[in-house]
Structure 1
């Protein structure tokens, strides 16, 4: 499917519709825009600066709010969602949330993924004052978060008044899709519940093409859990299979709970080889060995009898075959977690070659001055 873009002139020329004042708020307007471009699930972490915005996003028909365990995972989930749907979105709170999600946004930027990062910002009256707010670094300058996002997004919209909110939001979304890069939208916390005449206009027509399904360029450890959550949420009629290393899983394991809460039927193969094998093949050392977890026990604890979940620990090919038969048979309607215990040196020749090349590139001596 070809990607088509509406522009602001087209949007502004559309007639107003019979949207009630309660539906013509800034928050509902943003929600309608997301639904229009195919985003039906938004990954979020609540914070006091975004709570009113979340209220209005929840109220938007067709938009499902997925609460994540932390902002980094919310960003990774939006990344995975974008790889399936063609665009993804996350909502966090100002600075403490924004800086936490930043690494995921940087990964999406490097992978050319359209991702809309929405931040609940300070009260619009506080900009330009000497007031020091919580969730900041203790300075009256609120631009720290914006400056950080400027390097990893293709457009930044700081919405502090209603008159240009419509234009800023539309520009951000259209730029995100046209350039296939993340964008940043900050919404003042006192604005989402307020209506404005421009918010009753029809959304700009968009269509999106699905993109990549794995992260290679950025290579952020821990990406896979959140991305699996987002990808599976984007394709509810399919069963996602994820192969996740033990080191990566330890970074972002919490959001297996969100997978269960959403009723996902993902199959996760946890590769337990005792450490960061990919780093070992580049440069070995004691820092590449991690504490072993009882991974199936952890997932069972997260499951806690709520939702459908099945776990198994396998140590040989026969046990793996048996587990696969189970997860594709009687447990096909469950989230299935298979811990595959392998030797630390059991790796592919491609990884060995890649590690050797990276090691050689990293180890080049300085050029003569």
Structure 2
């Protein structure tokens, strides 16, 4: 006998159809019925230590997979995810938040139900501020359309959506799924034609054009189009920090990361001296722009995003970024010129001095030689990010970091999410000690799932970025024996680094330890820092 369709089963079916293979979360009494449906589906359920960890993991999963999902209970679970969901919204990561909620029939008889805050709409109203769409499924007849609209919004905008499922609606009958259309609306032909013609003319007249690529190229799956444009035009290409690895950093026309005065001088000079800068899918944020030390003259820029095309001071709405790229590729002539790329950041081979204390600069210089093709680099916030900015990522889209929203605590759960989605990728995680203390216990989930990331804890006993903005004891934290966390978790390999010789031994052991995670406690001077951090902190302190 055919299984009847219910609201809960409808949601499960749609998630499967959208390409979801796993759901992260923590169960609670208001969502147990839906968890039971998940167990009977094709999707794996990954339980985490905290709801925040689940949301960060689902965010990273979405960045690799194209869609992620977190499933939690009402308020006490959902509100714990708000920070991570806000980060996903800010950085355009397509994340579905599924929350159980009290039964509709019980709300009338017993209004003071556990987990309620102000009223039964409180959580949904909060999520409205950090999602592209919210759907409260209180009517089984309307639920299928609400689910479809929310998922379409998630996939079109690449931003989180919120779906709330009351316990007594989950098993209510509803219509069966019809065809789901998540395609974006077509570009306005007139606007597209004018935008492409004007941009192509500006590029043809330029003598020193350059491309600046951002994270939307990855989010909207436009990497192949970017590569076609780069190869046909011969233009050099730089990336923003948030867009790092959107193109292979071994590409002969790749310059490096452009971040104003924070970045390498040769990259800054190449971009800012260009007579036409084609900006593609970039967020013009303070960090991406080197805390506004970037100098990009609007009269020399073509700024194309998923929301608008701006050519100098002319703005075009209703143009899809992919259509704009395809139009440019058709109109621009094939060029034989190939711009000379910027010199690699590590021009000389790294030679360890065994007894020399390890420093941030030397650590990342060694990491540049350690990276392999099957590694995905994940950087938490702080000097772990700024130091990693100049690493050469071997393949495209294998660098993950919340480089715009800059929430600490992303790194460890992100390793979980990324490797759950693709076990062929081995995460290399750079995380500060402060960020590790926020979400590091998701290593427990990593042990349970049989994953093997290599985690480098940059242990400088506090918040180094803040120390260089405003020094004080409020930036200090209690020092843990990070390598000993393996004893608590009954899994993993713990290593400790104080010198360059220690680092060599630890890297050799971590590379060959494939059965579980490795955690490397890297002892650094509290005031040691990367070059980029020095420049950033100087700018922030003067604002």
Q: TM-score, normalised by structure 2?
A: 0.59
Matches within 5 A, 1:25-174: 25-61=6-42, 63-127=43-107, 131-137=111-117, 139=118, 141-174=119-152
Give me the whole-angstrom Cα distance separating, in 1, the residues matched to 2:509 and 2:9: 44
Partner of residue 539, structure 2? 357
Matches within 5 A, 1:220-369: 220-302=407-489, 304-305=490-491, 309-329=492-512, 331-361=513-543
Secondary structure of the structure 2 residue equivalent to 1:242: strand
Give me the whole-angstrom Cα distance separating, in 1, the residues matched to 2:2 and 2:458: 53
Give me the whole-angstrom Cα distance separating, in 2, the residues matched to 1:175 and 1:123: 26
Secondary structure of the structure 1 residue equivalent to 2:469: coil
Give me the whole-angstrom Cα distance separating, in 1, the residues matched to 2:478 and 2:173: 53
Q: Which of 1 and 2 has higher RCO (CA within 8 Å, sep 6+)? A: 1
Are 1:218 and 2:400 an aligned pair? no
Q: Is the 8 A contact 1:37 1:206 kept in 2?
A: no
Give me the whole-angstrom Cα distance separating, in 2, the residues matched to 1:147 and 1:255: 29
Give me the whole-angstrom Cα distance separating, in 1, the residues matched to 2:163 and 2:426: 32
Closer, same or farther: CA 32–206 of 1 in aligned 2, 3 Å: farther
**Residue by residue, what CA displacement relative to the aligned partner does 1:236-288 show, whole Å, maximum 9, x if unpaired?**
11111111110000011221100111111111111111111111122111010
Give me the whole-angstrom Cα distance separating, in 1, the residues matched to 2:182 and 2:129: 28
Q: Is the 8 A contact 2:94 2:160 kept in 1?
A: yes
Range with bigger deviation, 218-227 or 85-94: 218-227
Partner of residue 365, structure 1? none
1:126 offset after TM fit, Å?
Answer: 3.8
1:127 offset after TM fit, Å?
Answer: 4.8
Give me the whole-angstrom Cα distance separating, in 1, the residues matched to 2:132 and 2:107: 23
**Residue by residue, what CA displacement relative to the aligned partner does 1:14-53 show, whole Å, maximum 9, x if unpaired?**
xxxxx9325x332222122222222211111111100101
Secondary structure of the structure 1 residue equivalent to 2:502: helix
Give me the whole-angstrom Cα distance separating, in 2, the residues matched to 1:92 and 1:282: 37
Give me the whole-angstrom Cα distance separating, in 2, the residues matched to 1:34 and 1:152: 21
**Residue by residue, what CA displacement relative to the aligned partner does 1:317-368 show, whole Å, maximum 9, x if unpaired?**
1111111112222x1332111111111122111011111112222xxxxxxx
1:143 offset after TM fit, Å?
Answer: 1.1
Give me the whole-angstrom Cα distance separating, in 2, the residues matched to 1:352 and 1:213: 23
**Residue by residue, what CA displacement relative to the aligned partner does 1:147-197 show, whole Å, maximum 9, x if unpaired?**
11111111000001211111111110000111111110000112223333x
Q: Is the 8 A contact 1:116 1:185 kept in 2?
A: yes
Give me the whole-angstrom Cα distance separating, in 1, the residues matched to 2:11 and 2:400: 27
Give me the whole-angstrom Cα distance separating, in 2, the residues matched to 1:359 and 1:127: 51
1:214 offset after TM fit, Å?
Answer: 1.1
Range with bigger deviation, 320-329 or 43-52: 320-329
Gaps spanning 5+ residues in structure 2: where?
185-218, 222-396
Q: Is the 8 A contact 1:32 1:203 kept in 2?
A: no
Q: Is the 8 A contact 1:28 1:60 kept in 2?
A: no
Q: Is the 8 A contact 2:494 2:519 kept in 1?
A: yes
Closer, same or farther: CA 206–20 of 1 in aligned 2, 3 Å: farther
Partner of residue 166, structure 2? 188
1:235 offset after TM fit, Å?
Answer: 1.4
RMSD: 2.0
Q: Is the 8 A contact 1:310 1:334 kept in 2?
A: yes
Partner of residue 4, structure 1? none
Range with bigger deviation, 47-56 or 210-219: 210-219
1:289 offset after TM fit, Å?
Answer: 0.5
Give me the whole-angstrom Cα distance separating, in 1, the residues matched to 2:7 and 2:484: 45
Partner of residue 11, structure 1? none
Give me the whole-angstrom Cα distance separating, in 2, the residues matched to 1:153 and 1:129: 31
Q: TM-score, normalised by structure 1?
A: 0.85
- Structure showing greater radius of gyration is 2
